[in-house]
Chains A and B, each alone.
Chain A
Amino acid sequence: MSSHSTDKGPVVDDTAQEASGNSVAADIRISFKRWLVKNLRNPYVIFTSLVQPIIFFVLFVEVFGAIAGSTLSAALGPDISYVTYLSPAIIIMSTLSSAATSGIGLVDDMEEGMFEKMLVSPMNRSAMFFGKVLSEVARIVVQTVIVLLLGYLLLVLKNGAAFDQYLRTGAAGIVGVVLVTVIFGGAFMAYSNIVALVSRDQEATIMFTNLLTFPLVFVSSAFLPLSVLPGWIRTVAVFNPITYGVDSVRAIMLGQDVMTVFEMTAFGGIWNTVVPAVVILVGFNVLLGSIAIRLLRRAASIKVQ
């Protein structure tokens, strides 16, 4: 056998060959699909994305709704139900919970050795992370739509209201709400990854993201109008991205300017809320995102660490 093969030239069957690798777009798709499958299989993801919003929504409406009614009427007018008022808060809270898990997946990959496995493969490194981010964006989009519909269902059950009373800007409003949650989520995805990359530890990542994000929801305009809250909370709320996320979603849903921390009149209507809030959220994205990218670069670099 072997003498024959030497005569005719070597047997180079298809065994050893350089890999062809993929285009960047294909790499993004590979990473995106992988994380999508992983997320769908993770019971924790289903819990934070679906079960938790339902629990919070129902509990808050039942408990706070009983006392918030008159406060609300005083602040925003008589025809706004607490369900409608609360929906933006639940939507933003769910986005927050989902975005905060972003770093856990990264740490998990590092602990499992998959991170290193990807690094020695021909996969494009930016594509590797971009695909993961996209899968989390997809999760936020789906989840936002579901929570939005859930809020409407609750409203119908309580008051029997029509959809345009719930979301006053209609179909364009749905797109707007989704876009805001994605931009809002981006900042917290970056934050979560920063914690993950600094701690390199799953428990620490879960702890530090929850520790910061859960109280942050309360020191914002999420549950009650800022005007009825203590002065120190109003001060903290100005620096709290949750305020801007909630305010812009709320402005879109109520179809009116609800900006709670400063007055703006240059853009007209809901834009007086949405434009400055989104600009501030993008600012958070740029700031936290650039730190996260820098840390990721360092984690993925081949320099001696």
Chain B
Amino acid sequence: MTSRQTYSQQNAANQSQETDLAIDAQNVTVTYEDGTEAVRGVSLRIEKGEFFGFLGPNGAGKTTTIKSLVTLLHPTEGSVRINGYDTATEPEKVRRSIGYMAQETSIDRELTPRENLQLACKLYGVPVDQREDRIEALLDLVDLQDVADTRSEKFSGGMKKRLDAASVLVHRPPVVFLDEPTTGLDPEARLRLWNYFERINEQGTTVFLTTQYLEEADQLCDRLSLLQDGQIIATGSPGTLKSEFGTDIFEITLENPVEERIERAVQAVRRIETLDEPTIRTTEDGFTVRSARAREAASDLFAALDGTGVSVSDFDVRSPTLDDVFLALTDGSSDTAGRADTGMASLSAQEVST
């Protein structure tokens, strides 16, 4: 975050350029020929040096939005400026300013990793005397130095993904678009990439990231937007979003959790006035209580349970995660319906973090 300050100061010193925005999208709308409105009025103002997350369920329009930012798609309506250049009138200048890692791995399988990176260096005109060092450093980073001179056609999905990541970063673009860059990677590779993304971001690179791992967004992003049905439904820092849309969650496990006992306990909890409009869900061996005031009402909750004669075998209170925010905001959308239970969502978040 300090890096962002330094970077904007630099720009201020550069006698305040016309814009300090790395990405300035105004009311971007993409309507396909068949009438599908993939993106409906998305506006983004992302400062130079920001690490920005773009989240949303599958089919929300994330990739279509990115494509209209990186000059692959011309929006039906609205305008986009990247690094100060208009994507409609100055696409060449935009292309010189960006790196784009597509969701589908894009490498030349008939070339070796080294040759893929050399090709990327050539495409972007990286000075010849710098190529060697950059390529070596990136091969090392993505852990492909052992196979640097092996044709990449037989690589595993993860290896190809790592090579792809390296090849969009080798020319060190000021603005990087990463469309689910770590999907399918093992945890170690993911962590290494995260560290690298953070490092280039600290050195001033603006990063625009979409991910399915909310944990990833939470860790890396300064700010993020949630996209649903082609529209942004919330924007803010992970912390802000969590405190604004997430609620504390009580997970209570009962001894001898038969239906009748759980029901009795839930009835008692419902009567607690200090729990301001709680959402209570029964689980297999107890129930969960979501409430903005779960922590303050904890003693009331136990007192109420005491009165019912149902004893608690285990309890847990946790702060909201981005998963909770995501679920709260995108509730009912097809993608999340299958895992509407928060327990599942937090479990999957834990899995990715190990």
User: Knowing A15-B204, A19-B96 touch, does A116 contact B10 (C-beta < 8 A)?
Assistant: no
The interface residues of chain A, by DSSP majority, are classed as loop
List of A residues within 8 angstroms of B120 by Cβ: 121
A11–B10 alpha-carbon span in the complex (Å): 9
Q: Scan A11-37; emit 1 where CB is below 8 A from any B CB, else 0.
A: 111111111111000000010001001
User: Are the CB atoms of B111 and A12 closer together than 8 Å?
Assistant: no
Q: Which of B122-166 contact A (CB under 8 A)?
A: 122-126, 130, 151
List of A residues within 8 angstroms of B72 by Cβ: 116, 119-120, 302
Whether, in the assembled complex, A117 has its beta carbon less than 8 Å from a beta carbon of chain B, the answer is yes
Interface size bracket, B side: 35 or more
Q: Scan B77-90; emit 1 where CB is below 8 A from any A CB, else 0.
A: 00000010001000
Nearest chain-A residue to B123 (Cβ)? Answer: A121
Chain B min CB distance to A56 (Å): 27
List of B residues within 8 angstroms of A123 by Cβ: 123
A121–B106 alpha-carbon span in the complex (Å): 13
User: Knowing A6-B6, A12-B10 touch, does A18 contact B83 (C-beta < 8 A)?
Assistant: yes
User: Are the CB atoms of A114 and B107 closer together than 8 Å?
Assistant: yes
Interface size bracket, A side: 35 or more
Whether, in the assembled complex, A42 has its beta carbon less than 8 Å from a beta carbon of chain B, the answer is yes
Chain B min CB distance to A172 (Å): 37
Whether, in the assembled complex, B331 has its beta carbon less than 8 Å from a beta carbon of chain A, the answer is no
User: Knowing A37-B110, A119-B72 touch, does A12 contact B204 (C-beta < 8 A)?
Assistant: yes
User: Are the CB atoms of A18 and B96 closer together than 8 Å?
Assistant: yes
User: Are the CB atoms of A19 and B31 closer together than 8 Å?
Assistant: no
Chain A min CB distance to B149 (Å): 13
Whether, in the assembled complex, A5 has its beta carbon less than 8 Å from a beta carbon of chain B, the answer is yes
A9–B14 alpha-carbon span in the complex (Å): 11
User: Are the CB atoms of B74 and A41 closer together than 8 Å?
Assistant: no
A98–B106 alpha-carbon span in the complex (Å): 26
Q: Scan A255-269; emit 1 where CB is below 8 A from any B CB, else 0.
A: 000000000000000
List of A residues within 8 angstroms of B313 by Cβ: none
Whether, in the assembled complex, A2 has its beta carbon less than 8 Å from a beta carbon of chain B, the answer is yes
From A2, A22, A304, B122 is in contact (CB under 8 Å) with A22
User: Are the CB atoms of A15 and B98 closer together than 8 Å?
Assistant: no
User: Are the CB atoms of A114 and B106 closer together than 8 Å?
Assistant: yes
Whether, in the assembled complex, B71 has its beta carbon less than 8 Å from a beta carbon of chain A, the answer is yes
List of A residues within 8 angstroms of B9 by Cβ: 6, 10
User: Are the CB atoms of B108 and A19 closer together than 8 Å?
Assistant: no
A214–B64 alpha-carbon span in the complex (Å): 42
User: Are the CB atoms of B92 and A38 closer together than 8 Å?
Assistant: no
Whether, in the assembled complex, A118 has its beta carbon less than 8 Å from a beta carbon of chain B, the answer is yes
List of B residues within 8 angstroms of A122 by Cβ: 92, 95-96, 123-125
Chain A min CB distance to B74 (Å): 4
Chain A min CB distance to B126 (Å): 7
A13–B100 alpha-carbon span in the complex (Å): 21
A18–B83 alpha-carbon span in the complex (Å): 10
User: Are the CB atoms of B126 and A19 closer together than 8 Å?
Assistant: yes
List of B residues within 8 angstroms of A22 by Cβ: 122-123, 125
7 nearest interchain CB pairs? A113-B106, A19-B124, A15-B203, A20-B125, A16-B174, A10-B10, A10-B6
Chain B residues proximal to chain A, CB less than 8 Å: 2-3, 5-7, 9-10, 13, 30-33, 70-76, 83, 87, 91-93, 95-98, 100, 102, 104-111, 115, 119-120, 122-126, 130, 151, 167, 171-174, 200, 203-205
Q: Can you name 7 extra interface pairs (CB under 8 A) apart from A19-B96, A38-B111?
A: A10-B9, A16-B204, A41-B110, A118-B123, A120-B95, A301-B74, A303-B74
Chain A residues proximal to chain B, CB less than 8 Å: 2, 5-6, 9-22, 30, 34, 37-38, 41-42, 112-114, 116-123, 301-305
25 sample A-B contacts, Cβ–Cβ < 8 Å, listed by A number: A2-B6, A6-B9, A10-B6, A15-B203, A15-B205, A18-B83, A20-B124, A21-B92, A22-B123, A30-B122, A37-B110, A37-B111, A38-B111, A42-B110, A113-B102, A113-B104, A116-B102, A117-B167, A120-B100, A121-B95, A121-B123, A122-B123, A122-B124, A304-B74, A305-B33
